[in-house]
Amino acid sequence: MAILIDQPSWPAHGTVWAHLVSDSNLEELHAFAAAAEIPRRGFDLDHYDVPESRYADLVAAGALPVTFREMIVRLRSSGLRVSARERRAR
């Protein structure tokens, strides 16, 4: 059970964004996000989008830095991954 964060690399709205996920359950992810004061509006079905400016704070709070590929592998293994097809259907 871990909270994972990838390197900020997704440009939008004048910054770059990282993804914050849990490799075990969404309750753990929401609790971590709430404790870190990440707005719920940043949640996108299986992850939170977080700006680059928060990266170091989130790692200091316990998020484990991983590559994007490792994040996806662990998210799929947990059964929490929402595919692009599923996103379009919602």
**pTM reported for the whole predicted model:** 0.89
Quote the CA–CA distance of 79 and 7 in Å, as a whole number: 22
> For residues 68 and 70, what is the distance between their CA atoms, to the nearest angstrom?
6
pLDDT tens across the length of the chain (90 residues): 799 999 999 888 888 999 999 999 999 999 999 999 999 999 988 899 999 999 999 999 999 999 999 999 998 898 888 877 777 776
